[in-house]
Structure 1
């Protein structure tokens, strides 16, 4: 019969080996980054509906401008419809923001794993990827706030258009504010897309450097 202390030593060896055979920091990072990508699925799903709603609102706006205040009753009807569309856009952008913020929270989990990477060059690569993603999140937060401002200005416009005593000066001033706001949104969106592209490239580079046997997601 095997002695107790021998059985205990074998048991301890199994535990130690199990620990050694666990996922490496690089593999943990891979798992986290892929979960981050999945958490952004809702963000991606909002893009096409948002574009459709923007197109619908633009069509309503053009109809209102074509009518002019001489057909006030019809202008009021279309303005109310436009406000509903803006509110739908608000709902989509909030869902988009929730998705990004969930991925941000998950992404923070890679910090400890990066610190545990033994290879200095690989650790540096992971840190660069981390910085790019953090810049991307900051960029998105600025973009989100600007888009919200634009939506608020849009609603103000359509509310103003329901006032029969609205002056041309008031209308022009509001439209100028809206144009400036959307110009800012477009600029910030370009910056966000730039960081997204950089992050995806750096992520693939890290996977290659870490010699991880992974499938590249073509959607990215």
Structure 2
């Protein structure tokens, strides 16, 4: 009878060990895994920002070359405009790839929904819910940013098409430049909103980690979601205010167009690093 009692105790102990092993990672650990996998999926986003800035600088140089050419060099203007459009196409591909990485990261992040209620304390649950709201706000801001960028590229492309037209009128060029400036103003607002949302999210994520018992060591920027870099043409193609009189000669009109369509990308070449 005594031996039978010992056997039951051993079985209970073994079952307890098995149950402990089957519990798996805690809710806090699961949150951490989802959050950091989302960061990993966004790394491509950060790399693409550098490519975008490089391409924008190339396009800026081409634009300035076009503005320096007289109408008699229309063949060269057309060639440079085509090269600029080719760069715009590359930028379109990059922002699409960028969006795919953001979408993948958001999809991974959304896995925390099934974990939040299992977190060990009410404080952690509250912080996790705040974190979820911050990510939703950030993703919505990115959607606005992506839309604004696409619209700006579309209007840039139309500008280069117009520059190849030998019969281009000053008022038409000015109207297009105005549309482009409006697009880049909207892009800048969307970019600032996205970067602010990113900073808020990163701050809340750090607060959440500090409230857990995971003892996470933060190393540089590795833990952070990515911000949108302030690109070289985020200010659009601003015109200088001039009081030039309209000339009937096409050559003089071309010179007036160059003076009134100077691109002000250089004012926005600094970049915002993710925290």
How far 1:85 moved relative to its partner?
0.8
Asked if the contact 2:28/2:120 (under 8 Å) is kept, the reply is: no
> Which secondary structure state, in structure 2, belongs to the residue aligned with residue 27 of structure 1?
helix
- Give the gaps of 5 or more residues in structure 1: none
Aligned residue number for residue 174 of structure 1: 176
Residues 1:62 and 2:92 aligned together: no
**1:6/1:210 Cα in 2 relative to 1: closer, same or farther (>3 Å)?**
closer
> Which secondary structure state, in structure 2, belongs to the residue aligned with residue 108 of structure 1?
helix
Q: TM-score, normalised by structure 2?
A: 0.75
The structure with more radius of gyration: 2
**C-alpha separation in 1, matches of 2:102 and 2:56:** 21
- Give the gaps of 5 or more residues in structure 2: 222-274
How far 1:202 moved relative to its partner?
0.9
Aligned residue number for residue 107 of structure 1: 109
Note the alpha carbon deviations across 1:146-182, whole angstroms, 9 max, x for none.
Answer: 1011111111111122222221111111111111101
Aligned residue number for residue 133 of structure 1: 135
How far 1:15 moved relative to its partner?
2.6
Asked if the contact 2:48/2:98 (under 8 Å) is kept, the reply is: yes
Aligned residue number for residue 216 of structure 1: 218
Residues 1:18 and 2:21 aligned together: yes
**C-alpha separation in 2, matches of 1:53 and 1:154:** 14
Could you tell me which of 185, 188, 193 is aligned with 2:187? 185
Of residues 67-76 and 91-100 in structure 1, the stretch that sits farther from structure 2 once superposed is: 67-76
Q: TM-score, normalised by structure 1?
A: 0.92
* Aligned counterparts, 1:22-171, within 5 A: 22-171=24-173
CA RMSD of aligned residues (A): 2.0
**By percentage of residues, which structure has more helix?**
1
How far 1:70 moved relative to its partner?
3.4
